[in-house]
Structure 1
C-alpha cells in the first residue's frame, strides 16, 4: 500500500480542520483534563485506571457503548451465564494481577477454556477432513522464535531488519526447513487474512512466548465469575463520568509545544463537547481513517498511511442444527496444510450454555454485520447437510456480534525494510500525542505491559 502524500495541501487541510473544531464546538460544554484517551479497549482502559490511581485527571472517548475492545461477553438471557466470544483468557503475570487488584477483582489460576471433540470440516462444501490433528509448536519453532527477542514485546527492530523476517510465513517455513511446524502455526484461530502471506515477523510477534506459555504451561488467570469483560465494566464504574461512551472525535488541534496541549471536538449522545487536555493517548487502532479528525501533519500521515488492519469478527449463535457434543473447525480439504479458505468462519466453539456457540470469522476486506451473519448462516446450512445427526430444518439464531476490524494493523515488507517501526516509535510524544495498542503487540497482558512502560513518559510530559 503506497503512503498518501499530502504535500503542499497539508497547511490548507489543517487550517480547515482547525476552523471546523471551533465551529462545531462553539458554545459546547468544556471538559478540561490532564490527559485525553481515545479508545477504551485494553490499553485505553488500563491507562485510564492507572493514571487516575496516580492522581491524574483523564477523560476516555470510546465510540462503542462499553469499554473492553476485544473483550466481548454476552449473557444468556435464560441463565445469566456469561459467554466470552472475544478474549478467551488472561495471562498470569504481575502486570495483569496488579491491574485486577486496582479494580478489586479476585483472580485465581485458570485453565484453557473448555471445548469439545473437534470435527475438522471444509466449510466451503461441508466435507470432513479426516485423520487431521493439531500438534503444539515444537522445539524447532521455539529455537526460531528465540532468535528474535525484540519481537516478543513490541517491534523495536534492529537496523537492518533481518531479511528472513520479511519473508512470507510459507517462504520462511520452507527456507529454514520448518515445514513440520506448518500445521501448528497455521492453525492459530485469531489471525486475520491469509496466514500463508503474513510476514514471518508478524507470526513471531503474535505466536510469542506469552501465547505459548498460556497454551502449553497454563499460565492463565481467571476472575471468579468467568466474565472476561468484568475488568472493563468495573473500570467503567470506577471512572464514571470520565468516560464518554458512544462518542467520537470529529476534529482536533494538537500543538507542537507542550504548552500548546490538545483540543478536541467530541460528538456524544448528549451533544458536542470540547475537550481540552495537556496530552493525548491514542489507543484505538492507529490507521488513517481513525486519525483523520486529529489534524495529522505530513510526517504523521506518511507514517500512519502505511498501515492497514486485518478484518475479523466474532459472534454468538444458537440453534445451529448440529450435534452439540462437538466443536466445528474450518480446514481446507485440498489446501496446503489444510489451511481454511478466506473469507469465512474460523470455527464454531461450544459454550457453557447447551446448544449456544461462539464463532470467529476472518476476511480480506471489511464486511458489514449482515454480510458476516449471512455467510455464517450459509455455512451452517451446508454443515447441516453433511454432519451426521444434523437437523436440516433448524434456522440459526444470531444473538451477538462484534467487529474487531482493524485487528493488529500491519505494514508491507518494503515499509518495514525502510524503517516504518522506527518512525512509529519516533512519534511517541510528538505533538503531545502518545500511541499504544495492537499496532505493536496483540495479547491483553502485553498490551498492558507496553502501556505501563509508556505511562511514566506521559506523566513526565505533563510536567514540562
Structure 2
C-alpha cells in the first residue's frame, strides 16, 4: 500500500512539474486561477500596450476613427522618452528627452488635435569646448569640419539617400539588399570620402554609428532630418513637450491604465477577443479586445507573460540595442553659456570612446545643465550617475574646466533600450521582411522605434500606415 501511495505521489509530482512547465504565466496559471469580477473586465475594440509616443498617437487616432481603446502603460505618465523638468525656483520647463519635431503636416495636425500650439525650435548658440573626457584635458587643434567640406560630404550623402527612396517608409528592403546598405558604416565613410560628415552624424545619433550597418545610419540621418536641420524643427510653444501627453491623457481619460503592466495574454483565434491580464494600482483587470497594438520595445525580457509565437520570439531575440541616458544637473561649476563636448583625440573621426558623457550644455535655465550619456551596453542608473560624477571630477583635475565640481542630479531618465539593430547577415537574409510579416498575425500589430526610426515624428508616419488595417 505504501509503495502504491508512493508511486501515486511520484506520478502526481511529475504531472505537476509538466503542468508548471507547459502552463507558464502566458497561458495558464495567472489567467486560469484568477477570477475577474464583471467590474474588472474592460471590453474594447483595441488594446494598446505602451503609452509612449507611438502608443499615445495610436490611441488618439483610433479614437478619432471611431474605435474604442484602452492603453496599458507601466509609467505613471504618458510620453515614453519625453521628459520635462520644471525648475521649482524659476518655473522654467526644460525638455531633456524628446526636444523637437519635424516640420510635417502629420505633426502639426496632431498638435492641433491635442490643442498644443507649436513654434520653430530655437537652439541658443554657446561657446564649445572640446575635451577628452578620459583625461579632462582640452583637445588641442580639434575643430569641426569646415563649411565647404561639410557641404560637399552632405551632397554625396544625399545622393546616396536618393538611391533608396523606399527607406522613407521603413525597413522595406529589396531582395537582394544593396551591398552598400550592409557595409559597416566606417567602411562606407572611407569608400565614399564623407569624413567631414561623421561627427555631425554622431552628434545627432549619439551612439557609435561606425560599427552599424550603413542601413541604420541612412534610416536615422535621412532626407527629412536633413531638411529640418537646414530649415528648422518644431517644438511646443510652451517649450514643455509633456503638454502633448497631458492633453492626450485629458482626452483618453479612463481609457489609460497608468502604472500598470501586462501579466498574461491570450490571442487564441477561436475566441472572439484577444485577452490581456493587467496588474493595475487598483487590482487586476481583464481586457477583452478585438485587436492588440504593441508599442513597447521588442526585447524578450519585456514580454514576460505574453503568449509570443515561436516566430515572434525568434525574431525579437535577434535584436540588440545600446543604452542612452539623459539628465539635468546643478551645482556643477560649469560656466554659463559653455558647452563641453567629448572628443576622442586619437580615435577614428574623433568620436569619443563609450560609455561616457557625450556633452554638457546649458539648459536655458541659469544654473542647470543637461548631460547626455551613451553606452554600447546597458548600465544601472547608479552606475551611470557614478560615471558622470567621475567625469566631472576629471574635468576639474585635468584642467579643461578647473571650476567643475561634483554635480547634483535634479532629473534623470534612462532611454534604454535604445537603437535596436540586427547584424548585416540577418538583414541580408530578410530579417525585416519576416519582422513586418508579423503585422496582423494573431490580431496583433506592432509599432515603435524598432520598426522604423527612433524619431517621434517619423514613427507617427509609420504608425499611420498601420491604422487602416487596425481600424478595419
Measure how far apart 1:365 and its partner are: 1.7
SS in 2 for 1:18: coil
CA distance in 1, matches of 2:334, 2:19: 56
1:331–1:389 Cα change, 3 Å: closer
Q: Which residue of 2 aligns with 1:213?
A: 227
CA–CA distance in structure 2, aligned partners of residues 16 and 233 of structure 1? 33
Q: Secondary structure at the match of 1:125?
A: coil
After TM superposition, the structure 1 = structure 2 runs for residues 52-451 of structure 1, keeping only pairs within 5 Å, are 52-108=63-119, 110-135=120-145, 136=150, 138-185=154-201, 187-192=202-207, 194-218=208-232, 220-256=233-269, 260-387=272-399, 390-391=402-403, 394-439=405-450, 440-451=452-463
Report the aligned-residue RMSD: 2.0
Superposition deviation, residue 115 in structure 1: 4.2
Query: Is contact 1:244-1:268 (8 Å) kept?
Result: yes
Of residues 169-178 and 93-102 in structure 1, the stretch that sits farther from structure 2 once superposed is: 169-178
* DSSP-derived class of the 1:83 partner: strand
Shift, 1:274, TM fit? 1.1
What TM-score, normalized by structure 2, do the two folds share?
0.90
Counterpart secondary structure, 2:439: coil
Structure 1 residues 159 and 92: CA distance shift in structure 2, 3 A: same
Looking at structure 2, the residues matched to 398 and 315 of structure 1 have their Cα atoms a distance apart, in angstroms, of 7
Deviation at 1:278, TM superposition (A): 0.8
Greater alpha carbon shift after TM alignment, 69-78 vs 380-389: 380-389
The 1:285/1:215 distance shift into structure 2, 3 A limit, reads: same
Quote the offset at 1:112 in angstroms: 4.0
Residue 226 of structure 2 aligns to a residue whose secondary structure is helix
Aligned equivalent of 1:452: 464
Given that 1:20 and 1:251 are in contact with CA atoms closer than 8 Å, whether structure 2 keeps it comes out as: no
Q: CA deviation at 1:25?
A: 4.2
**Aligned-partner SS, 2:278:** strand
Distance 2:168 2:326 in 1: 26
> How far, CA to CA, are the matches of 1:50 and 1:313 in structure 2?
30
Change (3 A) 1:329 1:336: same
| Structure 2 equivalent of residue 3 of structure 1 | none
Alpha-carbon distance between aligned partners in 2 of 1:10 and 1:310, rounded to the nearest angstrom: 37
- 1:189-213: per-residue Cα shift (whole Å, max 9, x none)? 4333x32211100000000012111
Offset, 1:389:
6.0
Counterpart CA distance in 2 for 1:13 and 1:79 is 57
Residue 321 of structure 1: CA displacement? 1.3
For this pair of structures, how many residues does the alignment match? 446
- Separation of aligned partners in 2, 1:115 and 1:431: 51
Tell me the CA shift for residue 179 of structure 1.
3.1
| Mapped partners of 1:107, 1:293: distance in 2 | 40
Report what 2:30 is aligned to.
21
The 2-side partners of 1:416 and 1:10 are apart by 38
Unaligned runs of 5+ in 1: 1-8
Shift of 1:261: 2.7
Q: Structure 1-normalised TM-score?
A: 0.91
Provide Cα deviations, 1:104-145, integer angstroms capped at 9, x if missing partner.
11223x134324111111111111123333345521111122
- Displacement after TM superposition at 1:318 (Å): 0.9
Q: Is the 8 A contact 2:26 2:304 kept in 1?
A: no
Distance 1:126 1:64, change over 3 A: same
* Distance of 1:10 and 1:314 partners within structure 2: 44
Q: Distance in 2 between matches of 1:240 and 1:113?
A: 34
